Chain A
Amino acid sequence: MNQPLGNRLSGLLRRWGRFLVGLPPYAWLVLFFLVPFLIVFKISLSEMQAAIPPYKPLLAWAEDGVLQLRLNLGNYRYLLTDDLYAVAYLNSLKIAAISTVGCLLIGYPMAYTIARAPKGNRNALLMLVVLPFWTSFLIRVYAWMGILKSEGLLNAFLLWTGVINEPLQILETDLAVYIGIVYSYLPFMVLPLYATLEKMDLSLLEAAADLGCRPFRAFLAVTLPLSLPGVIAGSMLVFIPAVGEFVIPDLLGGPDTLMIGKVLWAEFFDNRDWPVASAVAVAMLVVLVAPIMVFQRYQSKAVDS
């Protein structure tokens, strides 16, 4: 009696097992990405009102039992009419792009050094790269305020050595934002670069040397192109969150540092204009989807070959 039941159960498990294993990630994405996104998207299509919640519902009962759907595209049109948004988007892209290049220039030599270090030391070095994560992000950014401000550590040091005669204004400039982003996102650049550089077949470099190629040219002709997937992965991991960064420009940047994250904050909390804020968020997602798609295409191409 037990046997057939057991068989039926295992048959059921076999049929549904694959589905059950796949369920949590899909459920996660639906619950914590798709649903919130749809809510934000819905709010971006509504009108503002001074109430709680601070927007009008999309669906409303009109007279005679007619259900009305009111879609308000005005918020998106508003984004186009006031060039504050376009400037903020472009500035965010610019700051993210420059920071990404900065991360790459600092992160590549780091990743390369770790990947070519003796095997026993590599994990310890990687640990050091990840170590700052053990301190709160916010505290680390505050620490940079202490370093960069007029009477901060950096200026005190430079004044003491006599390199400068009066303190440099670094805090509350774009430069401080670059420093903050490069510092905070560097591990995201180093880790994927390390992964590609570490698995590279070193006999390829020997082959290059054997064929008459000097070490630096071998780096350009062999190492660099083969580490391109890591360069792209690392750049995406830095660039995408950097575009929407809010804390760093807010704490380290000045009033002129216009980034879309700050604008978003202002719309939500200062203006309490949730519909426009939501439209800003949706537009930002669209702006970021393009580089993500490029990344995906490159990844699938790399997998194919």
Chain B
Amino acid sequence: MVHQPVRQQSFAPWNDPEARPLIRIEGVSKSFGTFVAVDKVDLDIYPGEFFSLLGASGCGKTTLLRMLAGFETPSAGKIFIDGVDMARIPPYERPVNMMFQSYALFPHMTVAENVAFGLKQDGLPKPVIRDKVRAALELVQMGPFAQRKPAQLSGGQRQRVALARCLAKEPKVLLLDEPLAALDKKLREQTQLELVNIQDRVGITFVMVTHDQEEAMTMSARIGVMRAGLIEQVGTPVEVYEYPATSFVADFIGTANMFGGVVTADAASHVVVRSPELERDLSIAHSGTLPVGAPVTVMVRPEKMTLSRDEPAADWNWVQGTVSDIAYLGDISIYHVALASGRRVQVSQTNLRHGSEQRLTWDDVVYAAWHPANALVLTQ
């Protein structure tokens, strides 16, 4: 995680109006029969970016990726890569390479032959191919396995070979379709950081499809959250987590407590929301204006709340209930608080103090409280 704060400060071409995107997706749709897989998507991806398309299965993320690779033709809209319209360009002439979810290694070829395959298609001289194959395999630490067949490799090793095979071609864009889905948890976490490091080193633009929000958060410069063929929000991991644009994004990324309600008052810096599920009105920081009576959703993350037996300060929002469940995870504990309305609220608390003695326990009557600035009003 060390690299990330550094990069986020220095690398944000999407905020620079002068920056030219490497990939420009303009109003792209794709339908299969009557099913609309991708629905009028607009998206710019910048050179050197690690971009993730995040969504549940069937949301259209893989279809969008396959349109970038050229395996699917858009029903409508245009895709430009490096300024060139891709409409009439077949997959074998595109400056992109794709790493398949199944890795799609050629089973009848050795590791070295697999990596050399793409270079041979370019008609490069043999010594150049040999050097490039060696360099690519070294990059993913698979040099000693060059003469093995894919069947003789573990899942993690196959994944590395698939990556090397793409990187050896030095594409402008590398497309990754659920690259880590087939690996077990430990290996996956390790590989996440390694992929990001490799991407930093080679400087190629990565576009990754994943259903794993943690993976997307760890690896990406920006995330595009997709649902039902639409991109709900594009933003940095911090943006999509702290400032979700819609209640779907808030719910999909991490855990969120959400209360439906209506606006009862709109001040300059905050709005007051009344929810039928809560006894008290909520006061939430909000800079825009909202008409009184507008239906909204208030979103609070579990870690933004505090739990206590004592009534919180007057300017805080709080709900009162009884502790119905405690999940002790070591570093944190997650408390489920049942409100009088039957609604349950999740609160996570860092276990700051050493020891087995719990401050709060089952059936305690508690206040879950949060500061108005630590919640969000969502209108969609």
Q: Which residues of A contact B (CB under 8 A)?
A: 201, 203-204, 206-214, 217, 221-222, 225-226, 305
Contact B102–A201 (Cβ < 8 Å): yes
CA distance A232 to B350 in the complex (A): 65
Known A201-B102, A203-B104, A204-B106: A209·B90 in contact at CB below 8 Å:
yes
Which one, B22-30, B116-124, B264-272, B360-368, is touching chain A? B116-124
Contact B121–A207 (Cβ < 8 Å): no
Looking at A201, A204, A210, A226, the one whose CB has the most chain B CB atoms below 10 A away is A210
Inter-chain contacts of B104 with A (CB < 8 A):
201, 203-204, 206-207
Closest to B66 in A: A206
Q: Which residues of B contact A (CB under 8 A)?
A: 69-71, 90-93, 96-98, 100, 102, 104-108, 117-118, 121-122, 149, 151, 165, 169
CA distance A167 to B268 in the complex (A): 102
Inter-chain contacts of A210 with B (CB < 8 A):
69, 91-92, 96-98
Inter-chain contacts of A206 with B (CB < 8 A):
69, 71, 91, 98, 100, 104
Closest to B117 in A: A211
Closest to B116 in A: A211
Contact B91–A225 (Cβ < 8 Å): no
Inter-chain contacts of A222 with B (CB < 8 A):
106
CA distance A82 to B121 in the complex (A): 56
User: Please, could you name 20 A-B residue pairs with CB atoms under 8 Å apart, sorted by A?
Assistant: A201-B102, A203-B100, A203-B102, A203-B104, A206-B71, A207-B100, A209-B70, A209-B90, A210-B91, A210-B98, A211-B92, A211-B117, A211-B118, A211-B169, A212-B93, A221-B117, A222-B106, A225-B108, A305-B149, A305-B151
A11 CB, min distance to chain B CBs, angstroms: 41
Contact B102–A226 (Cβ < 8 Å): no
B163 CB, min distance to chain A CBs, angstroms: 13
Contact A209–B91 (Cβ < 8 Å): yes
The 8 closest A-B pairs by CB, nearest first: A211-B118, A212-B121, A207-B104, A209-B91, A203-B104, A209-B92, A225-B108, A210-B98
**Pick the contact of B106 from A207, A209, A214 — CB < 8 Å?**
A207
Inter-chain contacts of A211 with B (CB < 8 A):
92, 97, 117-118, 121, 165, 169
B106 CB, min distance to chain A CBs, angstroms: 6
Closest to B91 in A: A209
Contact A226–B108 (Cβ < 8 Å): yes
CA distance A217 to B123 in the complex (A): 13
Contact B92–A212 (Cβ < 8 Å): yes
CA distance A260 to B71 in the complex (A): 53
CA distance A201 to B93 in the complex (A): 22
Contact A212–B100 (Cβ < 8 Å): no
Contact A212–B69 (Cβ < 8 Å): no
Looking at B97, B117, B149, the one whose CB has the most chain A CB atoms below 10 A away is B117
